Structure 1
């Protein structure tokens, strides 16, 4: 499974991707983020799904750019990548399905190109269609998404800082890692500040962040202890009454 998270706030973009690849009992580490940084052209692509489909679609898309194809707005690049996914589908879907594999690739694409008025982020489906992330949906997770959503939903909004977005994003990943054995370190982080046309990449190993993970676990326990018990008393009073009555019988 995969954990890829994209966050769009007013200040910029934050992307986090784990690197674990599981095949049967074997696990390997492979990068799940493709970055293309050129003059007034900043784009990152994160994927969840069949690795073979991902690699082929990314190579086809990279070839277009290397041969001189230019996109002035990010949605046009998203359309182009979607067409490469469909191309791979035309070439490989039948063979994959005959072998028992579902043709599957979900993609987060973010960045800013020359004529974009601001940074953008899109969720692209296997069929090549997409939706754009906006103020009402400041984040999207692909892959193993269930465990990491609550903290993001409770914390993030459009005016959140990039620092808070990265902190919350890591804790979301950490919650997923703790609950799923197919998501793990290292994690790749991509940061993009609005109108900078400069993508920053950084990889965190487990030893870099295990103290933050331990601190978060400790803070959670403290917070739980600080929550009032008064609201529970009625229920426990009923239980104690039932226990007393049962002893008297």
Structure 2
């Protein structure tokens, strides 16, 4: 399992992913789930992956291979005319890899399933963000749905729904995402540090801030401890529940 979030802001796009992968409680390792490609001044593309590791690595390897020899290995995401076409190509590649790996039936398809978040910008167009499903189809982020989650999404979603707003800064967004990831990590052992994050400023056409947050990161620890204390304080300040005095009620 994993947890990744891609978010659309007025300032641009922001991505965060964990790095834990496991095949049982005694086989846990760290794997990078965030990938990027750039043509300076022309386009920037970022992809985060969740699901079967063999599937996601195959998809990323195929996409990357096609960028290195575009004249021989088309289609290339570095030549696609729009982010929409890039999302289509990622979806097509994902569907093909799953079909090759799966033997027969729905159960086999599910075993090799994966989802991806694709975002970025091509010069002359707006930054765009997409969620790619295992079947190869996809949806795009909008004002009503400004962020996507893949992997173990349920524990970290409530804070995003309540606190995310489009005009927040990248710094505010990273703080919010760290709270979301902290809630998920505390609730599910299959998600864990280190975390990777990348910011993309609109119209910059290059990756912005990119870093790895280790388990001993002082800011993450401060956010984790501070959020826990804030929740306890907020709970204590809620009105007390009282029975109405009727027996049995």
TM beyond 0.5: yes
How many positions carry a matched residue from both structures? 236
Partner SS for 1:94: coil
Stretches of structure 2 lacking an aligned partner (at least 5 in a row): 71-75
Higher CA-based Rg:
1
Q: Which residue of 2 aligns with 1:23?
A: 23
- What's the CA shift for 1:163? 2.2
Taking the aligned partners of 1:132 and 1:163, their CA distance within structure 2 comes to 24
CA contact (8 A) 1:18 1:186 kept: yes
- What's the CA shift for 1:101? 6.2
- What's the CA shift for 1:38? 2.1
Taking the aligned partners of 1:100 and 1:190, their CA distance within structure 2 comes to 31
Taking the aligned partners of 1:46 and 1:189, their CA distance within structure 2 comes to 10
Query: What RMSD in Å do the two structures reach over aligned CA positions?
Result: 2.0
CA contact (8 A) 2:20 2:30 kept: yes
- What's the CA shift for 1:12? 1.1
- What's the CA shift for 1:100? 9.2
Q: Which one of 74, 92, 95 corresponds to residue 86 of structure 1?
A: 95
Residues 188-209 of structure 1 deviation map (CA, whole Å, 9 limit, x = unaligned): 0011111111213210001112
CA contact (8 A) 1:110 1:121 kept: yes
CA contact (8 A) 2:18 2:194 kept: yes
* 1:128 matched to 2:136: yes
Evaluate the alpha carbon distance shift between residue 4 and residue 98 of structure 1 in structure 2; reply closer, same or farther with a 3 A threshold: closer
Residues 14-47 of structure 1 deviation map (CA, whole Å, 9 limit, x = unaligned): 1110000111221000101111122221111111
- What's the CA shift for 1:97? 7.4
CA contact (8 A) 1:135 1:157 kept: no
Q: Tell me the TM-score normalized by structure 1.
A: 0.88
Partner SS for 2:197: strand
